[in-house]
Amino acid sequence: MSAARPTRVAVLGAGLMGSATALFLARGGCTVTLFEQAEAPMQGASCWNEGKIHLGHLYAADPSMRTAREVVDGGLRFRPLVEELIGGSLAATVTPQRDTYLVHPGSVVSAEAMGAYFARLDELLKERGGSYLGPLTPIERLTAGELEALAGGAVVAGFRVPERSVDTRVVADRIVEALEAEARIDFRPGHRVEGVEPADGSWEGRWRVRHGAGAEGPYDQVVNALWEGRLLVDASCGLRPEPGWSHRYRLSLFADLERPLDLPSAVLATGPFGDVKNYGNGRFYLSWYAAGLMAEGEEVAPPPIRLPEPARVIEEVRRGLTGWLPAFEAVFAAPGEILVGGGWVYARGKGALSDPAASLHRRDLFGVTRRGAYFSVDTGKYSCAPWLARKLADQLTAA
């Protein structure tokens, strides 16, 4: 008797979610076709973001704790799952210090409310337990002297929290190496997927994938792991999300300096928003939300974008960030190179971060939507991608 045919799966999008899903499926015995519109995997937001491995601290404006409860499992599982994917350690990519959360006078969450939220989050982390990028230490409030040294009196409070980040550019390189080494993955660069359709008219049957050069398949299952264009592909088979989403194209800065600087990783929240990550060895991420937001839209299709000159983005981020946190002027003054990079992100939420009522302050509505053998994945956060990928791959290989 001949052996059963391996399950054929099409995965759409080679960001972290799609790449992790493809790797877990291939290692589970599936043959995988991985479609990507770029010429290489991990070229969009999965490479060009701060790499925050969320435990829920950013979402103090959701006092219900719903967001924290949803993102914490992905944060606690991130390191072991990615180390399994790349076959090595993440230690060298992790920020060496805990994050410092800073509260500015115009925050949508007061210092007192943020401190109370963090205390509740401490209890949640004790309940969940598990591994992380570093020790799950209790919250510490910054002294007046520490605040003055970092922000010159511009902020009203600060907290050291256990959250850390990974250097996403290094992680991206390691994921690409893992994809290249996996014989069961057929990578298709330069393929912009336009739609999907049941091959025989049945949602439970096999599916075809349409792109600019034609249609391919049939596939036993299709996983839509796109951020840019995911809703358009969903719509091609009649699948639409509940209203209340947004597409955003964001740029940030990535500094490669000639020498390290003794500066913390810091977040200015929640409202006018800035973020700095110090990965060590002179590598930094720097973002000022208003300067990096190039486009946003609430239609099924992402809005058009026109990217400015990198020098303009660098200057606007510098002005926005150092206007509040002058200590980070040292990054811009140091010898080295500053790159500008970014990509599309999608969220089941919308509105301005400076608006207390904006639904972007809640990020608990993510996960997998299914129509027969077609699966559409809202990753939620970068930190949740490996966890969602493992759960979905286990489900598909067990089917």
Start-to-end CA span in the chain (Å): 22
Encoded tokens for 201: 């008219």
Encoded tokens for 88: 């090595």
- Angstrom distance (rounded) from CA 13 to CA 88: 24
Q: Which domains does the chain have, with CATH numbers?
A: 1-51+167-244+364-399 (3.50.50.60)
Q: Give one word for 133, left, alpha or beta, with left for phi > 0 and alpha for psi -120 to 50.
A: alpha
Q: Please check whether residue 102 is in contact with residue 266, taking contact to mean a CB–CB distance below 8 angstroms.
A: yes
Condensed to tens digits (0 to 9), the pLDDT of residues 215-233 reads: 999 999 999 999 999 999 9
Q: Is the pLDDT of residue 154 over 90?
A: no
Q: Summarize the confidence of residues 247-262 as an average pLDDT.
A: 97
Task: Identify the weakest region by mean pLDDT among 7-21, 130-144, 331-345.
Answer: 130-144
- Angstrom distance (rounded) from CA 58 to CA 177: 32
Q: Summarize the confidence of residues 128-142 as an average pLDDT.
A: 91
- Angstrom distance (rounded) from CA 367 to CA 2: 37
* Residue of 389, 371, 15 lying closest to 204 (CA atoms): 371
Between the ranges 122-136, 257-271, 376-390, where is the mean pLDDT highest? Answer: 376-390
- Angstrom distance (rounded) from CA 270 to CA 59: 8
> 353 vs 288, which has greater pLDDT?
288
> 353 vs 254, which has greater pLDDT?
254
Q: Please check whether residue 243 is in contact with residue 362, taking contact to mean a CB–CB distance below 8 angstroms.
A: no
- The pLDDT, as a whole number, for residue 279 is 98
Encoded tokens for 355: 């608006």
Condensed to tens digits (0 to 9), the pLDDT of residues 54-105 reads: 999 999 999 999 999 999 999 999 999 999 999 999 999 999 999 999 998 8
- The pLDDT, as a whole number, for residue 211 is 95
Q: Summarize the confidence of residues 38-63 as an average pLDDT.
A: 96
pTM of the model: 0.96
- The pLDDT, as a whole number, for residue 1 is 32
- The pLDDT, as a whole number, for residue 191 is 96
Encoded tokens for 157: 């409070």
Q: Is the pLDDT of residue 4 over 80?
A: no
- Angstrom distance (rounded) from CA 181 to CA 88: 14
Encoded tokens for 292: 């990096």
> 357 vs 38, which has greater pLDDT?
38
Condensed to tens digits (0 to 9), the pLDDT of residues 288-329 reads: 999 999 999 999 999 999 999 999 999 999 999 999 999 999
| 276 confidence band (pLDDT: 50, 70, 90) | very high
For helices 385-398 and 16-27, angle between their N-to-C axes, nearest 10 degrees: 30
- The pLDDT, as a whole number, for residue 252 is 97
Q: Summarize the confidence of residues 257-274 as an average pLDDT.
A: 91
Q: Please check whether residue 121 is in contact with residue 55, taking contact to mean a CB–CB distance below 8 angstroms.
A: yes
Q: Summarize the confidence of residues 35-50 as an average pLDDT.
A: 96
- The pLDDT, as a whole number, for residue 326 is 93
| 3 confidence band (pLDDT: 50, 70, 90) | very low
> 131 vs 386, which has greater pLDDT?
386
- Angstrom distance (rounded) from CA 233 to CA 195: 5
> 184 vs 130, which has greater pLDDT?
184
- The pLDDT, as a whole number, for residue 399 is 66
- The pLDDT, as a whole number, for residue 5 is 57
Q: Summarize the confidence of residues 154-164 as an average pLDDT.
A: 94
Q: Summarize the confidence of residues 123-130 as an average pLDDT.
A: 89
Burial 102-141 (b: 16+ CB within 10 A, else e): bbbeebbbebeebbebbeebbeebeeeeeebbbebeebee
- The pLDDT, as a whole number, for residue 2 is 36
| Three-class SS of the chain | CCCCCCCEEEEECCCHHHHHHHHHHHHCCCEEEEECCCCCCCCCCCCCCCCECCCCHHHCCCCCCHHHHHHHHHHHHHHHHHHHHHCCCCHHHECCCCEEEEECCCCCCCHHHHHHHHHHHHHHHHHHCCCCCCCCCCCEECCHHHHHHHHCCCCCEEEEECCCEECHHHHHHHHHHHHHHCCCEEEECCCCEEEEEECCCCCCCCEEEEECCEEEEEECEEEECCCCCHHHHHHCCCCCCCCCCEEEEEEEEEEEECCCCCCCEEEEECCCCEEEEEEECCEEEEEEHHHHEEEEECCCCCCCCCCCCHHHHHHHHHHHHHHHCHHHHHHHHCCEEEEEEEEEEEECCCCCCCCCCCHHHCCCCCEEEEECCEEEEECCCHHHHHHHHHHHHHHHHHC
Read off the amino acid at residue 208: R
Q: Summarize the confidence of residues 136-162 as an average pLDDT.
A: 92
Percent of the chain scoring above 70 in pLDDT? 98
